Structure formats: C-alpha cells, structure tokens
C-alpha cells in the first residue's frame, strides 16, 4: 500500500505537467489568447494603479533593478508592520511587537521565498501580520522568482529579442496563476477541515475536565499559497504536521501536488519557449531521476527505522514513527519530505530532526544540489545552469566551441555560471564552519555528537537553498542564528538570480548559430545522462566531506 | 514584446516609483483582500470546518476539536501518543530528539516501563512503536487501530465492559485510508473516548 500511494501521487503529477505547462506558457508568451478576456481588464486596472504606462521589454539590468526595488519596498513595509504589530488591528491574542534581529530574519526569510521560521506563529504573530506580511510575501516572492525564471528562459530561447518586462510578468504571475489557484485550493482545504477564521484562540473543557487552549486563525488562506508559492512557512510552529494545517492524508496529497506541480511543469514551459519540447522533457527527466533516487533512500530508511529505538522491544513494524503523525505514516511522510526539499518549499509534515540519519541525508542532499525541481523558477534556472556547464564540459572533451540552443557559450557566460555555482557551497560551508567554531553558534545545537553537526549544516543549507525547513531542534532564535542565516538567505537568493539574468542578457544579444550535423545535441538520452553526471559530480566534490561528518557518521555509529 | 532599448527606457526614479506603488497595491490585494475574502466565503458556506471542527458531547457542550489530540491521564480512557507538550494546543512541537540522542532512548524506556506497570497483560512487543513515541505536532489526535486494541485488556479490567464490546467500539471508530489508498488507518482518540464515556454512563 505504501508504494502504491507514492506511485499514484507521482502519476498525477506527471499528468499535470503538460496542461499546467501549456497554461503557464500562454501566460508569459505575451501573445493574445483566450484568457485575456477574463484577466485583461483586471491587469489593466493594476497597471494603472501602479503607474505602469508602457510595458516595453527591459534590458537585463533594468529587469534586475525593477525586481530588486520591488523587493526592497516590500521588505521595508513588512519590517515596519512586524515591529509595530501590537499597535495594528486584528490582534485578538494581544501579541507584542517582534524583536529586531528576529524581524530582520523573518522579512528576509519571506522575501527570499525561504520561510525559515525562527518564531512560532501561534505566539509570535498577530493575524494582521500573518496576512499582510506572511501571506502577502508568499505571493510576491513566488511571483518574483517565477518572473526571473521566465526572463531567463526568454533570454536563452528568444532570438534577438528581449527578456521581457518585470512589472508585467510580476502582475500576470499574480492575476493568472497565484491568486486564482490559491483561492480555489483554500476553499478545497476548508472543505477538508482546515480552519479559516479570525476568532482568537479557543478555550475548551476537555473530556477529563481540564482547560485546553487551541490556537486557530486564518490557516487555510495561508496554507494554499504556502505550497503553491513553494514558500513553506507554517501558520503554526510545527507547520504542516499540525492537524489544523494538514488534517488528513487527502490534504497532504493536495499540499504536495500544490507545491510540486508548478516547478515540475516549468521544464515543459522551457521546452515550449525553446520550440523543442524534447529539451524540456530531458530536463524534467533528469530532475525526476534524481528525485526518485532520494525518495527511495528516505522511504526505505524510515521504514527500516532507528535500530537503537527498535532494540527496546516494541513492535517496530510501522517504521520510525518518532516525530511523525499516525495519519500520514511512513509513505506520506517520506514523500512529503522529499517533495518539500526538492521543490524548496520547506514546509514539513514530520520533524526532519528526528529522521533516521540516511532519511535525513536525502532532504539535505536535495537542498545542496538545489536543482531537483526547485522552487518557484529557481530550480529550473539552476538546472539550466548545470546544462550549460555540461555542454561546456562536453565541448572541452571533444575540442569544440560549446553551443547551447544555437548560441555560443563563451568566457563571459562561463564566468557568471561559475560564480553562481560556487557561491552556493561557499555560503553553506563557510557559515556552518563559523557556527561550529563559535560559542554563539554552538549554543543553538541541541543534540550531542554527529547529529549536532547535521543540525547546523542543515540550517545553513536550508537558508542558502531558500528552502526553509529545519532540523527544528536547533535553538535558532538568537542574534547569531537570526543574523547569520539572514545574510545567507539574501546571498543565496540574489547572487544566482542576478548572475543568471546577466547570462540571459548576454545570450539574448548573440547571433544565432544554425544547427549542423556536428552540433552537440541537448535533447536526447545521452545529454540526460551527462546532465545528471554533472550535477552529481559537482555536488559530490563540494559537499561529500560535510555529509560524511554529519549524517553518514551518525548512521555508522547508530546501533 | 518590443525591442529593448537603453536610450528611451524609464529612469531609475520612475522605476522606484512604480515599485513603491506596486508594493502597496500588492500588500492590499494579497495581504488584505485575498485572506479576508476567502475567510468570508469559508465562514458563509462551511462554518463547521472553518471554525476548527469542534466536537460536542451529548449535552451539547464543546469538549474539544476532532483534529486536536487531548491528554488522557485516567487509565480508564484510551490513551494517545507521547506528547512533550502534554497536548497544550496554544503551541505545538516536540523536543526534536535526533535518532542518536540518548534522551530519546531514556524517554522511550520510561514510556515502556509505564506501559508494563499499567498493562501487565499485554507484553511490550505487541505495542506499536507509534504509541510510545512522540508525534511531530505533539497534538496528534490519532492512534493506529492496533494501538487501541492493545489497550482493551486494561480498560476492560478497570471498567467492567467486556473486551468484545470494546473491540466493537474501536472498530466503529476506525477510519480507513483516505479514498482507500492514501495515509494509514487510524482511530480518533477523543471521539473513541467520548463514545466510551457514553457507554460508562449507561
């Protein structure tokens, strides 16, 4: 039954890729289509409200400036709201203003689509903050990421034209994708028992006569966009493990598909833009292959369980149930873990800190590679970056100038890509080392031994990959962890985005080289293999030592 | 899509102006209008679900939420999973003990010892591991059907209700997998105990 559940969800996902990808392509192809009649008037209204008179194509620098300025404005306003939430409306539980370094961490966490949470929602945020900051940024950061990914794809594929207009892409991502989808999924979740109310915390008298206070709030409205936008920040501290956020296996499946379907359909969108759908399927195939390998690792490790715990003599046939919920069991938990770290969502339906060492290795490795589906757009951009690197390596081996989609790959592009690829391990490993060498960093680590190393490594990896899940035992609401992960999240998001826009800006100006018999093809099984190989070699070279010190050592010593 | 042109593009100031207005407009649309509108719709058409699936007893008093587990200290009742927060639902969470943490073994061993003391008739190797480990949320409302069955001998002895009758009660409150496939079969502890209390009152 376990494997059947996994296969069914995977099958639904694969069936969604083509229709969803086609829809997304039409949203951003900027050619007239049927949906204009529905959404056109709304969009024209928004363009007027924001003062966007002309929607000319932008240079990559203008595009980058536009998305950065928009993000800065949102960060500034959100910072004010969180600091002043005690004075603002919709605060029935009388929650005070947020502390400085925690506010810094929180606004960066949400604008970068990371959703690392060093606060606990039920006690740290008013309903107004949950709505006007958290839910709002879940939309806007996802729309930003989506827009940049589309701009990058345009740069790779459109011949001698532009990468698009940021504000137009940003508005359309909201009006045609996130707002309508989120509204529908919110209502489906409510029908399946996820609460949605502005009432304060409930107080009930239990069966045994004790008082129980039950935190509640506008949960469903956040839950839908949290997954659609691959955000991952929970309304409650334990995120989608909380029975109000994720009350049954059906909501679990809906939440997984919501976070997974858009990133999985982006390779198809890319194939449509490139006018060669096989290109898209090769990228999709590489992502899916890596995904299945990680899913298998987590599922089998969790099913086998923790040998130390099993030795105590209970009936351990259920698998490792510490830190998991009965309604999900091993299959729904393992799948959720693998999806949420692949799609860089970072919501959790079980506690990753309590996963078996190898079960916890899979989510860690997915975030280190950061290109197995990936979050709103970022995963596709990273995978295409690896694709260009693969073409370059293959080109070196046969002694030809590398080409990708009819354009020569030259030193300028390779330098930018090297910066983006090297930045990722740098901002994971250096801060992890600092955390483990300083008292302020070590103070947060709550588990002894090798698992403590994994806790710090996981936190930095999750920040750099803009994932946001955590080994939640880490006592991370301290100035050290708030500021260090805040900086890592910023670098993790913006370095690669700007570098990739620069690559797109440089490629879009190049003249197109006609395809010949000698052209190295990037739409066949051979390239699928080379692409996976490139990802794994780079990943292994950079991260293997750190992984050996953490999860692998823990696995080998656990008995 | 038009050609990109550097010369006639808008200035940085005008881009900032658009960004500022866009920031305010999207805070209003996504942060205010969207959540309030969906809340309004949900409250109008699905008030029971939207307000937390509250459970009432026979007299109509609210005794909890069907989705949120409760602490059952009385051994006459079916007991839920280990919760490091004692099912205090104003917060959520667990101690997050890693698999190699000695505290995990100590806590579980204590649960096993408590089990042996309270249930001398049922050896610990028949007890599902989920019953003696901490859930993710600390609020897990469910136990597996086997976890309910192994508690029947104890409850039967304390209440005088026959094991057969208790077995039927557990079966009646066992929910299968969603759509027959997804998730795991489970028993809602609060609803089961509510039925048990009604039976005791008779």
Task: Looking at the structure, tell me whether residues B59 and B107 fall in a common domain.
Answer: yes
Domain assignment present for residue B5? The answer is no
Q: Is A558 on the interface with B (CB under 8 A)?
A: yes
Q: Is B199 on the interface with A (CB under 8 A)?
A: no
Tell me how far apart the alpha carbons of residues B153 and A67 are, in angstroms, rounded to a whole number: 65
A contacts of B49 (beta carbons < 8 Å): 190-195
Task: Looking at the structure, tell me whether residues B125 and B144 fall in a common domain.
Answer: yes
Is the CB of B101 less than 8 angstroms away from the CB of A472? Answer: no
B contacts of A221 (beta carbons < 8 Å): 34-35, 38-39
Q: Which helix (H) or strand (E) holds B186?
A: strand B186-188
pLDDT mean by block of 10 residues, chain B; 202 residues: 44 89 96 97 97 92 95 95 93 88 95 96 96 96 97 96 96 96 97 95 84
- ipTM of the predicted structure? 0.93
Closest CB from A162, A205, A250 relative to B1 = A162
Domain assignment present for residue B2? The answer is no
3 state DSSP class of B21: helix
Task: Looking at the structure, tell me whether residues B106 and B172 fall in a common domain.
Answer: yes
Domain assignment present for residue B6? The answer is no
Nearest to A464 by CA among A346, A373, A335, A292: A346
Domain assignment present for residue B135? The answer is yes
Tell me how far apart the alpha carbons of residues A438 and A433 are, in angstroms, rounded to a whole number: 9
Domain assignment present for residue A489? The answer is yes
pLDDT mean by block of 10 residues, chain A; 559 residues: 94 97 94 90 96 91 95 96 94 91 94 90 90 96 93 84 92 97 98 96 93 95 95 91 97 96 94 92 95 97 95 94 97 97 92 95 94 81 91 88 87 91 94 95 91 95 90 89 95 90 89 81 92 94 94 93
Nearest to A343 by CA among A238, A268, A254, A261: A261
A contacts of B39 (beta carbons < 8 Å): 196-198, 218, 221
Q: Is B122 on the interface with A (CB under 8 A)?
A: no
Distance from CA of B107 to the nearest CA of A (A): 11
A contacts of B194 (beta carbons < 8 Å): 207
Tell me how far apart the alpha carbons of residues A369 and A107 are, in angstroms, rounded to a whole number: 25
Contacts with A, B 77-106, CB within 8 Å: 77, 81, 87-102, 104-105
Is the CB of B52 less than 8 angstroms away from the CB of A208? Answer: no
Closest CB from B17, B72, B139 relative to A242 = B139
A and B: number of Cβ contacts within 8 A:
401
Q: Is A322 on the interface with B (CB under 8 A)?
A: yes
Domain assignment present for residue B4? The answer is no
Residue A125 · residue A99 · CB < 8 Å: no
Q: Is B137 on the interface with A (CB under 8 A)?
A: yes
Domain assignment present for residue A434? The answer is yes
Looking at residue B9, its pLDDT comes to 52
Looking at residue A160, its pLDDT comes to 61
3 state DSSP class of A8: helix
Residue A408 · residue A437 · CB < 8 Å: no
Residue B55 · residue B62 · CB < 8 Å: yes
- CA dist list (Å): B37 to A49, A132, A176, A187, B80: 21, 14, 18, 11, 37
Task: Looking at the structure, tell me whether residues B167 and B98 fall in a common domain.
Answer: yes
Q: Is A557 on the interface with B (CB under 8 A)?
A: yes
Looking at residue A469, its pLDDT comes to 87
Tell me how far apart the alpha carbons of residues B31 and B52 are, in angstroms, rounded to a whole number: 22
Domain assignment present for residue A146? The answer is no
Domain count, chain B: 2
Domain extent, residue B192, equals 53-201
Please report which residue ranges of B119-186 form alpha helices under DSSP H.
145-149, 152-159, 163-172
Q: Is A12 on the interface with B (CB under 8 A)?
A: no
Q: Is A353 on the interface with B (CB under 8 A)?
A: yes
Task: Looking at the structure, tell me whether residues B68 and B126 fall in a common domain.
Answer: yes
A contacts of B134 (beta carbons < 8 Å): 322-323, 354
Task: Looking at the structure, tell me whether residues B81 and B139 fall in a common domain.
Answer: yes
Task: Looking at the structure, tell me whether residues B44 and B105 fall in a common domain.
Answer: no
Task: Looking at the structure, tell me whether residues B123 and B57 fall in a common domain.
Answer: yes
Which of the residues A236, A327, A454 would you substitute to probe the B interface, choosing the one with the greatest number of B C-beta atoms within 10 Å? A327
Nearest to B126 by CA among B153, B104, B147: B147
């Amino acid at each position: 039954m376990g494997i059947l559940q996994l296969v069914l969800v995977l099958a639904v996902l694969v069936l969604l890729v083509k229709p969803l990808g086609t829809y997304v392509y039409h949203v951003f192809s900027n050619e007239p289509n049927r949906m204009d009649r529905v959404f056109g008037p709304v969009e024209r209204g928004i363009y007027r409200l924001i003062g966007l008179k002309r929607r000319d194509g932008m240079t990559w620098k203008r595009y980058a400036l536009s998305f950065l300025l928009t993000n800065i404005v949102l960060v500034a306003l959100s910072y004010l709201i969180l600091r002043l939430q005690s004075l603002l409306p919709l605060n029935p539980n009388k929650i005070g203003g947020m502390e400085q370094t925690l506010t810094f961490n929180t606004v960066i966490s949400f604008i970068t689509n990371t959703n690392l949470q060093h606060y606990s929602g039920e006690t740290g945020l008013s309903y107004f903050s949950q709505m006007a900051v958290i839910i709002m940024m879940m939309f806007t950061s996802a729309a930003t990421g989506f827009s940049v990914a589309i701009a990058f794809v345009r740069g790779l594929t459109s011949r001698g034209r532009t990468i698009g207009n940021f504000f137009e892409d940003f508005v359309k991502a909201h009006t045609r994708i996130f707002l309508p989808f989120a509204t529908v999924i919110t209502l489906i979740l409510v029908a399946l028992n996820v609460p949605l109310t502005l009432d304060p915390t409930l107080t009930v008298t239990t069966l045994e006569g004790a008082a129980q206070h039950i935190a509640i709030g506008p949960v469903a409205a956040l839950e839908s966009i949290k997954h659609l936008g691959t955000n991952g920040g929970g309304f409650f501290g334990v995120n989608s493990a909380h029975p109000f956020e994720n009350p049954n296996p059906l909501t679990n499946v809906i939440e997984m598909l919501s976070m997974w379907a858009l990133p999985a359909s982006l390779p198809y969108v890319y194939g449509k833009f490139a006018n060669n759908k096989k290109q898209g399927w090769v990228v999709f195939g590489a992502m899916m292959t890596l995904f299945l390998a990680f899913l298998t690792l987590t599922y089998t490790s969790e099913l086998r369980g923790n040998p130390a715990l099993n030795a105590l003599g209970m009936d351990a046939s259920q698998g490792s149930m510490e830190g998991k919920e009965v309604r999900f069991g091993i299959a729904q938990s393992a799948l959720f873990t693998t999806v949420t770290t692949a799609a860089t969502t970072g919501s959790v339906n079980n506690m990753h800190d309590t996963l078996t060492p190898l079960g916890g290795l899979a989510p860690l490795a997915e975030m280190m590679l950061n290109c197995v589906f990936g979050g709103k757009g970022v995963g596709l951009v990273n995978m295409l970056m690896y694709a260009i690197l693969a073409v370059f390596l293959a080109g070196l081996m046969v002694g030809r100038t590398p080409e990708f989609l009819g354009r020569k790959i030259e030193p300028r592009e390779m330098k930018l890509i090297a910066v983006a690829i090297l930045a990722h391990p740098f901002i994971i490993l250096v801060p992890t080392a600092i955390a483990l060498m300083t008292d302020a960093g070590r103070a947060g680590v709550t588990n002894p031994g090798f698992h403590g190393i994994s806790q710090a490594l996981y936190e930095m990896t999750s920040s750099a990959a803009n994932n946001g899940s955590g080994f939640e035992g880490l006592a991370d609401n301290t100035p050290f962890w708030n500021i260090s992960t805040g900086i890592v999240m910023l670098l993790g998001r913006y370095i690669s985005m700007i570098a990739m826009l620069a690559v797109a800006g440089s490629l879009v100006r190049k003249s197109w080289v006609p395809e010949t018999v000698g052209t190295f093809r990037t739409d066949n099984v051979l390239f699928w293999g080379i692409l996976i190989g490139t990802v794994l070699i780079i990943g292994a070279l950079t991260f293997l030592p750190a992984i050996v010190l953490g999860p692998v050592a823990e696995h080998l010593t656990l008995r | 899509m038009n050609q990109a042109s550097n010369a006639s593009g808008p200035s940085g100031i005008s881009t900032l102006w658009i960004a500022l207005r866009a920031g305010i407009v999207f805070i209003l649309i996504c942060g205010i209008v969207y959540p309030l509108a969906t809340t309004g719709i949900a409250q109008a058409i699905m008030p029971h679900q939207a307000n937390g699936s509250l459970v009432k007893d026979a007299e109509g008093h609210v005794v909890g939420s069907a989705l949120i587990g409760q602490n059952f200290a009385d051994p006459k009742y079916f007991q839920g999973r280990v919760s490091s927060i004692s099912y205090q639902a104003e917060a959520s969470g667990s101690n997050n003990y890693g698999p190699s943490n000695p505290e995990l073994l100590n806590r579980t061993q204590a649960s096993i010892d408590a089990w042996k003391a309270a249930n001398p008739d049922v050896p610990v190797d028949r007890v599902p591991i989920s019953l003696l480990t901490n859930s993710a949320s600390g609020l897990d409302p469910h136990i597996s059907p086997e976890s309910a069955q192994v508690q029947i001998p104890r409850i039967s002895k304390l209440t005088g209700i026959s094991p057969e009758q208790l077995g039927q009660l557990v079966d009646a409150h066992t929910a299968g997998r969603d759509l027959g496939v997804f998730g795991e079969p489970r028993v809602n502890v609060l609803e089961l105990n509510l039925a048990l209390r009604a039976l005791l009152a008779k």
